[in-house]
Amino acid sequence: MILTCPSCSTRYQADGARFVPPGRNVRCAKCGHVWFQTAPEADREPEPEPVFAEVVQIAPHPAPSTPAPTAPTATRDSAVKPTPKPADAPRPKVRKLPQGSLLADAIAWAALILLAMMIGWTAVQYRQTIVELWPGIAPLYEVMGLQVQPEGIALADIAYQHEVEDGQPVLAVTGKVVNISNRELPVPVIRVMLSDDAKHEIYHWTFDAGVRSLQPGAESAFVTRLSSPPPEARNLNIRFAEAGEAQ
């Protein structure tokens, strides 16, 4: 027999033997409408309804003007609904470590070390300029064993002569230290060097000028003597000692 839903006009093909008098409730699998369907006129004795058949499977009869729908099911009290498709299980998130992080750290440390070395080299190589800009930092260089000649300290009136003391020849060197700047400056150690005709160094010595610092425009005389100077000495050079020479 053919069943037609009163609500949406969907047609179903059903087994009439399953509809015993007076009839039964049927639910449309498409729209969910429930109606009472009377049993067809029986030409023969209806078969007893099986006690286990609670769900009636009916196939829709395709309408002439519409394509045949998929076979829905009708039940006495409720329509059979399709089993929902299980959702895909979420994939575990994998944390990726940034590539090249170790290399970047190594480059940063290398750059930092290189910068520190450059700063140290500059502080030693250009200590004279640094002290000129910040005179108060000169004692720090002295603690480090680095001699600094303050700009504005000069040697003047240098002279030497040969003398005899207790029957021994003596070389006497005289002069003075002058502060030609406008601020107080420390007085470095002085170095004297003797060389031969070929300007090869033969002997040298250092001495303290006898004053630690000079006020602006001040000066201080000094004298230094060398007993038994080398007889081959022909030239004398005097200047302020550099780092490592004040010994």
pLDDT tier for residue 48 given thresholds of 50, 70 and 90:
low
pLDDT in tens, 191-225: 999 999 999 999 999 999 999 999 999 999 999 99
Which residue spans of the chain are classified as CATH 2.60.40? Answer: 122-247
Model-level pTM greater than 0.85? no
Strongest mean pLDDT among 23-27, 43-47, 84-88, 232-236: 232-236
Provide CB contacts within 8 A for 181, sequence distance 6+: 150, 151, 152, 153, 216
Please give the pLDDT value at position 29: 86
Please give the pLDDT value at position 150: 56
Host H or E run for residue 116: helix 101-125
Host H or E run for residue 134: none
Return the higher-pLDDT residue of 64 and 244. 244
What is the mean pLDDT of the segment spanning 53-70? 52
pLDDT tier for residue 12 given thresholds of 50, 70 and 90:
confident
User: Based on C-alpha coordinates, what's the Rg of the chain?
Assistant: 58
Strongest mean pLDDT among 2-11, 17-26, 35-44: 2-11
pLDDT tier for residue 175 given thresholds of 50, 70 and 90:
very high
Class of residue 147 by CB neighbours under 10 A (exposed 0-12, middle 13-18, buried 19+): buried
198 phi, psi to nearest 5 deg: -85, 10
Class of residue 19 by CB neighbours under 10 A (exposed 0-12, middle 13-18, buried 19+): buried
Q: Residue 139: pLDDT above 80?
A: no
pLDDT in tens, 119-128: 988 887 777 6
What is the mean pLDDT of the segment spanning 149-156? 79
Structurally, at CATH architecture level, domain 122-247 sits in Sandwich (2.60)
Provide CB contacts within 8 A for 224, sequence distance 6+: 172, 173, 190, 192, 205, 207
Please give the pLDDT value at position 79: 46
> Which residue reads 């170095």 in tokens?
191
Q: Residue 167: pLDDT above 80?
A: yes
Provide CB contacts within 8 A for 34, sequence distance 6+: 25, 26, 27, 28
What's the first-to-final CA gap in the chain, in angstroms?
Answer: 128
What percentage of the chain has pLDDT greater than the value 90? 36
**What sections of 29-100 are H helices per DSSP?**
none
What is the mean pLDDT of the segment spanning 140-158? 76
- How far is it between the farthest Cα atoms of the chain? 168
What is the mean pLDDT of the segment spanning 139-166? 80
Least Cα distance to 79 among 17, 8, 22 occurs for: 8
